[in-house]
């Protein structure tokens, strides 16, 4: 058997409130869970991100060096063309031409080498075979990259290209070269250093070429010697092999209570390895910062969701209150409409007998209360009693209604009733008029209507007497006022009814029609 579910406003409100709290609880729980998951994921991501990040940093720096070398080689070839076009005839003119290259091509430390291995620079001339290994070659082919150690142990990158066909000052030249200070390369690579991030250049045997420290454990020492014993044996051997073969790779080693990870990639054509190290704590802090920012965003989202839910709940409650108020008002209006319909005579539009009985009951109750206060002549409610006594009843009866129905039909009789009602309402307030029978009306006059009753009755009676001659609506009216001895409204009604019958006799003598045709 199916049971019909009845939803009330209270049920709806409770459902909305409970649902809102459940949504907030789920959002909060989800945020807490996400925060914990983020913390765990942070630790797991450190190792994965470290290798990827380090490899990218090392590869980026390696490419910067490679691009710098290639650009320098291109500038050197342009320099040879420039010098050949200068028509140099002496060493002085050659030095001036080399000096111009600094401003024209931004080439520093450019030098030419003749077939006798004499080196010509902007400031001096010297024998270069002992300083530069590439000069020992009988014939140079292509570009040559080497590392040169000066007398003060400063290391420089030497870039050389053949100068075949170049002849100046009556001499044949076989090569030109440029020496680049390693420190300048280091400055070029130090573009995004931060605490905990290190880089260095190494030779194939692990020697530190750049002189830059690679973290507190390795510092500026030989990388292979410094990591022996602190890195896992197989990983260390693999790194040694990679350095010797000019290959890239990575290695993790112990540094106190933490693990350090470094990545290295070969620098093309140089025989160098570019190594980059970043402490795990740096990546962990960066990821933690991101996690904390995400947590703040999540908290803000929860606050926003709470505000939205509260606003929605407030709007919902307001709408429910308005709905309830509107429904109550509609019910009151409908009740008043039904009551008016129940208390209104459909033919005349004035109040009917049912309405008269309700009003009579109210007045009787008031009279009863007044009697109980008669012993309190000086009480504050004495004036209320006096006002309650200003009450009159007028009883009206239509003359000749039966005659009209019998001779002209009930439609004419209905018109007579309507005309009679309109005539009564023309002299007395409509709200005081009740149709209590087929041809009988009763009026309850209070307040201003009571005060003007006698004047209105005189005018009403004059109109009635005039209507006898015109053969139109004739109404007999009698009245009575509330007297101290009256216990009920009906007592007043009886006196008014008797007066109405006396008036009816008078109207008959004046020629008014009665129930029987004359």
Average pLDDT over residues 51-78: 84
State percent of the chain over pLDDT 70.
83
Average pLDDT over residues 337-350: 83
pLDDT band at 279; cut points 50, 70, 90: low
- Residue 380 maps to a domain: yes
pLDDT of residue 148: 80
pLDDT of residue 217: 86
- Residue 467 maps to a domain: yes
Q: Are residues 375 and 470 in the same domain?
A: yes
Q: Are residues 294 and 350 in the same domain?
A: no
- Residue 221 maps to a domain: yes
Average pLDDT over residues 55-69: 85
Average pLDDT over residues 368-387: 62
Which class for 99: exposed (0-12), middle (13-18), buried (19 or more C-beta within 10 A)?
middle
Residue 518 has pLDDT above 50, yes or no: no
Q: Are residues 124 and 272 in the same domain?
A: yes
Residue 208 has pLDDT above 80, yes or no: yes
pLDDT in tens, 458-509: 999 999 999 998 989 999 999 999 998 898 999 999 999 999 999 999 999 9
Average pLDDT over residues 190-197: 64
CB 216 within 8 A of CB 232: no
Q: Are residues 208 and 289 in the same domain?
A: yes
Which of 274, 146, 145 is CA-nearest to residue 210? 274
pLDDT of residue 462: 95
Q: Are residues 234 and 376 in the same domain?
A: no
- Residue 22 maps to a domain: no
Quickly tell me which residue has 């709200």 as its tokens.
431
State percent of the chain over pLDDT 90.
33
pLDDT of residue 515: 57
Residue 203 has pLDDT above 80, yes or no: yes
Residue 51 has pLDDT above 70, yes or no: no
Q: Are residues 276 and 402 in the same domain?
A: no
Residue 28 has pLDDT above 80, yes or no: no
pLDDT of residue 517: 43
- Residue 406 maps to a domain: yes
- Residue 287 maps to a domain: yes
pLDDT of residue 52: 66
pLDDT band at 189; cut points 50, 70, 90: confident
Average pLDDT over residues 26-40: 69
Q: Are residues 126 and 234 in the same domain?
A: yes
Residue 161 has pLDDT above 70, yes or no: yes
pLDDT of residue 41: 61
- Comparing 199 with 382, the larger pLDDT belongs to 199
Q: What does the buried/exposed string (b/e) look like for 166-193 if buried means 16 or more CB atoms within 10 Å of the residue's CB?
A: bebeeeebbbbbbbbebeebbeebeeee
Among 272, 305, 338, the domain-final residue is 305
How does DSSP classify residue 344? B
Average pLDDT over residues 176-183: 88
Q: Read off the tokens for 409.
A: 């039909």
Residue 281 has pLDDT above 90, yes or no: no
pLDDT of residue 199: 85
Parent domain of 169: 43-305
Which class for 361: exposed (0-12), middle (13-18), buried (19 or more C-beta within 10 A)?
exposed
Q: Are residues 474 and 373 in the same domain?
A: yes
pLDDT band at 194; cut points 50, 70, 90: low
Residue 141 has pLDDT above 60, yes or no: yes
Quickly tell me which residue has 């093309």 as its tokens.
268
- Comparing 334 with 215, the larger pLDDT belongs to 215
Residue 449 has pLDDT above 90, yes or no: yes
pLDDT in tens, 240-252: 999 999 999 988 8
pLDDT of residue 375: 54
pLDDT of residue 120: 93
Q: Are residues 284 and 395 in the same domain?
A: no
- Residue 163 maps to a domain: yes
Average pLDDT over residues 393-413: 92
Q: Per the structure, how many domains does the chain have?
A: 2
Residue 451 has pLDDT above 70, yes or no: yes
pLDDT of residue 40: 63
Average pLDDT over residues 152-164: 83
Listed range (255-264, 326-335, 372-381) with the worst mean pLDDT: 372-381
What are the Cα distances from residue 25, in Å, to 20, 310, 316? 9, 14, 20
Average pLDDT over residues 66-95: 90
Across the chain, mean pLDDT equals 83
Q: Are residues 273 and 362 in the same domain?
A: no
- Residue 138 maps to a domain: yes
CB 70 within 8 A of CB 152: no
Q: Are residues 259 and 351 in the same domain?
A: no
pLDDT of residue 178: 93
Number of residues written out for the chain: 518
Q: Are residues 290 and 395 in the same domain?
A: no
CATH classification of the domain holding 404 = 3.30.70.270
């Amino acid at each position: 058997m199916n049971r019909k579910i009845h939803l009330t406003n209270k049920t709806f409100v409770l459902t909305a409130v409970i649902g809102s709290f459940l949504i907030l609880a789920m959002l909060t729980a989800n945020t807490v869970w996400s925060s914990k998951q983020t913390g765990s994921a942070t630790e797991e991501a450190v190792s994965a991100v470290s290798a990827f990040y380090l490899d990218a940093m090392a590869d980026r720096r390696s490419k910067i060096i490679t691009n710098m070398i290639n650009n320098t080689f291109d500038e050197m070839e342009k320099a040879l063309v420039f010098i050949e076009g200068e028509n140099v005839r002496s060493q002085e003119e050659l030095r001036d031409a080399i000096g111009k290259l600094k401003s024209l091509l931004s080439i520093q430390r450019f030098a030419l080498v003749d077939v006798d291995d004499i080196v010509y620079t902007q400031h001096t001339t010297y024998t270069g075979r002992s300083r530069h290994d590439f000069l020992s070659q009988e014939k140079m082919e292509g570009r040559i990259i080497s590392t040169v150690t000066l007398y003060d142990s400063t290391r420089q990158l030497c870039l050389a290209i053949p100068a075949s066909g170049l002849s100046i000052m009556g001499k044949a030249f076989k090569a030109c070269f440029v020496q680049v200070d390693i420190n300048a390369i280091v400055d070029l690579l130090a573009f995004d250093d931060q605490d905990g991030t290190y880089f260095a250049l190494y030779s194939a045997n692990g020697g530190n070429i750049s002189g830059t420290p690679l973290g507190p454990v390795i510092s500026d020492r030989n990388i292979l010697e410094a990591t022996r014993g602190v890195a896992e044996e197989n990983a260390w051997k693999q790194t040694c092999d990679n350095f010797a073969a000019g290959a890239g790779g990575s290695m993790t080693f112990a540094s106190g209570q933490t693990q350090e990870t470094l990545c290295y990639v070969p620098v093309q054509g140089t025989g160098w390895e570019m190594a980059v190290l970043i402490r795990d704590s740096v990546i962990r802090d960066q990821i933690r910062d991101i996690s904390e920012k995400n947590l703040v965003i999540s908290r803000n989202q929860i606050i926003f969701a709470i505000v939205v839910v509260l606003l929605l709940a407030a709007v919902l409650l307001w709408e429910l209150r308005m709905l309830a108020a509107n429904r109550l008002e509609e019910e009151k209006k409908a009740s008043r409409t039904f009551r008016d319909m129940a208390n209104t005579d459909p033919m005349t539009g004035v109040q009917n007998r049912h309405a008269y009985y309700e009003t009579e009951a109210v007045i009787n109750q008031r009279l009863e209360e007044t009697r109980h206060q008669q012993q309190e002549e000086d009480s504050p409610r004495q004036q209320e009693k006096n006002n309650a006594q200003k009450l009159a009843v007028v009883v009206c009866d239509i003359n000749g209604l039966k005659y009209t129905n019998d001779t002209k039909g009930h439609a004419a009789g209905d018109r007579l009733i309507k005309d009679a009602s309109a005539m009564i309402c023309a002299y007395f307030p409509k709200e005081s008029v009740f149709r209590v029978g087929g041809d009988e009306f009763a009026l309850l006059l209070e307040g201003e209507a009571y005060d003007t009753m006698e004047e209105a009755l005189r005018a009403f009676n004059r109109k009635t007497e005039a209507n006898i001659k015109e053969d139109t609506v004739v109404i007999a009216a009698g009245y009575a006022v509330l007297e101290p001895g009256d216990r009920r409204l009906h007592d007043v009604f009886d006196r008014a009814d008797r007066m109405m019958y006396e008036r009816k006799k008078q109207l008959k003598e004046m020629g008014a029609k009665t129930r029987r045709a004359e």
